[in-house]
Each structure stands twice: as structure tokens, then as C-alpha cells.
Structure 1
């Protein structure tokens, strides 16, 4: 389906790694610290791709326009920072996918809205990312997704044209950013979508139900 591809870029949380257990635990600690009952991970998982916004929304019904949002967000960040590699794992099939991309001499990298404060130690702690050609965080450029700037920065670093890249993500903002950057876009429906999102409405060029399906979309080496 995709020809003339030289690089594959991925979102991080919900696409390459399952960080929901650590994100959920960080938010749930805020509840229990306040004497509120604990929520099960299943409550947090569908919103894990939305980071602090999703976790605080689930834990406290709080939106970013709440006057206390910034204070609680930093508390959440500190909780997460202290435990972000305890339960996080690579999704099944991702390691095989990455190995196949490397075997095909395709560069691969990460473009995430996660701040560098978390992205750098997290990716350094997981062996999978040793072969990543670039990692662009949410604060690497002046704009984060759905703005295309982070994706364009990744292509620049890889010295490839945007049209020679595919971007794979599990959130609508990933697809919006990829389309705006002029890249091929793939919706990863195996992550955190649950019943709250309709990936078919995002306008992605393709969708995959597991990581290895991506290889079928790439032209034969």
C-alpha cells in the first residue's frame, strides 16, 4: 500500500508501549492519598493515550480549564516519574516489527507528546529503543501534536522527505498531525482506544489491529 518509504515513525504510549499501568497507578495514588477509593486499571486504560489530561479526567473528573489542574498535573507527573518503568512493557509484536524494519534498512523513530523529562529516561530504560534513529518529545519543538511540527522535525533529523515517512499512532491527533505533515498515516487500534473512539472516522490511510500488520502495508523490500 505504501511505496517509496524510507522511515517509519511511531507514537509512543498506546502504540509501542503499554504504559497504562504506571500512568494509572500515578493517578490512582492521588485518589488514595486523598482518602478516595481506588479505581481499577480498566478505568484508566482507555484514557492512557491522553496523558495527564486523561488520567486526571478519569481520577477526578477534572478538565484542563479547572483552576487546580496545573497543580494536580505536577503532582501526577511526580508520581509517574517515580514509577514509570515499573509495569510498562512493549506491546506484543512490536519488537518483531522493529527488527523487521531494521532488516529492511528502514529508519524508525518516535514522535510523542510525552515531555522529554519522561521520554528520555523511559526510552533509555527499554532495550527496544536502542535502534531508534530519533526520538522527538512533546516539548522538542514549539508545538506538539496535532501540529505537524514534531513530525517534520523527525523527518529533518532522519534526512528524509515527509512523503517518504509513515506515521503510526493510536490517537486522532496522531493522524491529524501525520496528514498535515504530508506523511502516510496508520491508526493503531490495538492500544487504548476502547469503545470511546472511532478510529475509522480519523481519515487515516490505513489501520492495523496488531503491530505486525504494518509490514503488510509496506512495499516488499
Structure 2
């Protein structure tokens, strides 16, 4: 069973931390929800409140179209709506997106401790880079892997292994942090340690305790304890 934030027994000295982007490093739900609501308005529907959309934000277009329009992959309209959603999102990538509370301090302390960090997301590259630029992190991240950067996306281990290769970090000495079951599955498959981000977009009906993460972090700065660093 997963344990809450505590120092892990690392087989090697921790070398790097990798983060999921949406719902882990940054709160992007407002902009993703805004794109979905543009589609609803175009169809004569009222915008949905963000608190109803937020739990589905980590699932991107698929999750938001499902909850907002009740249309799923395989439906005749799905692909058209998916492309329309992505087009709408290009116009609001950084309107409200911001780092979660504590993330800026966490990244500062990782860098001060000499730990490398990067991002592994299923978000397409054409969206990942502008969002990272808007957050002021594009030059600080030492590896940024998007959903279309490798032949497979999470939960396949290849994106994480590619990031570890770029960072020159041993997977066993790398922590991956994410707010979705796919993130934990990818970490397990890649042989990294895993932390479930309880502050993220945990979907309705999901029990984070069941994911099998090495630890559950309630807030970003808890990761300092996980890594054996003393919070300053």
C-alpha cells in the first residue's frame, strides 16, 4: 500500500525529479475548461462551472469532451470535436494557467540541492512549449517530453526513460510525480520511484490509495521529505 509523504529508502542517491504538467506542476484546468466551454457555447449550451470540469482536466480533450458534451472516442462526432477543442485551446493556453502553490519554492530548492528536474506530459508538444514558456520554466527544465515526443505516451515507460536518458539520471534514482493513475503506471514500468500528487486533478470515483504509488504527497513541498531534503 502507498504511504503518505515520508523519506524513501533510495537504492541510489536521488538524482532527478520528473513531473507531469497538467494537475501536477501547473494548474491548467481554467484554460482547458475554457476551451471546452467554447465548444459548449458554440452548440448553444451554457458554460459549465470549473469545479465540475477540474477533476477531468488531466484526461485532456478526451475527458473534457466526455464530461462536457457526453461524447466519447468512437462516436461519429468525436474526432471533429477533438480537433475543435484543440483549436480553441490554442487561443487560451496561458490565460489563467499558473504553478500550484509551493511548486516555485520546490523547484528552487531542488536546484539549490543540485537535483535535476524535468517534465513528462501527454500534452502535445505544440501546447507544452508555450505553456512552459508562459510559466517561465522552458529554460529551467532540463528535459521536457511531450505526448508526441516519443513513439508512445504514458502509461508506456518510454517517455520517462527518454527523460532519464536526457538528464543522465538512473531511473532507480529518479522520482516521477503525477496526479493520474497513468503516471504511476508509467513510473512503475520505467523503474522510477513514484509520488502521487494529491493536490492535482484526481478524478471522481478514483481512490489515490489504490494506485500503488511509493508515496502520496499532499502538497508539493512534501516532496522535499520524500527526497530526504530538509525543507528550508
1:113-165 deviations in whole A, cap 9, x for unaligned? 00001001111121144321110000000100000000000001011111111
Find the counterpart in structure 2 of residue 54 from structure 1.
63
Matched residue, 2:84:
75
Identify the match of residue 196 of structure 1 among 205, 209, 213.
205
C-alpha contact (below 8 Å) 2:93/2:130 kept by paired residues: no
**Greater relative contact order (CA < 8 Å, ≥ 6 in sequence):** 2
Q: In 1, distance between residues paired with 2:54 and 2:131?
A: 19
Cα deviation, residue 195, structure 1: 3.9
TM-score (norm: length of structure 2): 0.92
Pair 1:141-2:150 in alignment: yes
The residue aligned with 2:108 is: 99
Contact 1:97/1:215 (8 A) holds in 2: yes
Post-superposition Cα deviations, 1:171-218, rounded to whole Å, max 9, x if no partner, equal 000000000000000000101115431111010000001000000111
Residue equivalent to 2:131: 122
- Deviation, 1:66, is 1.2
Which has the higher mean CA deviation after the structures are superposed, 144-153 or 62-71?
62-71
Tell me: CA distance 1:2–1:115, structure 2 relative to 1, closer, same or farther (3 Å).
Answer: farther
Query: 5+ residue gaps in structure 1?
Result: none
Determine the structure 1 residue equivalent to 2:215. 206
Measured on the aligned residues, the alpha-carbon RMSD in Å equals 1.2
Which residue number in structure 2 is paired with residue 17 of structure 1?
26
* Stretches (4+) displaced over 2 A: none
Number of aligned residue pairs: give it: 221
Q: Deviations over 1:68-114 (max 9, x none)?
A: 21110010001001111001111000000000100100000000000
Larger deviation, residues 120-129 vs 93-102: 120-129
Q: Which of 52, 63, 66 lines up with 2:72 in the alignment?
A: 63
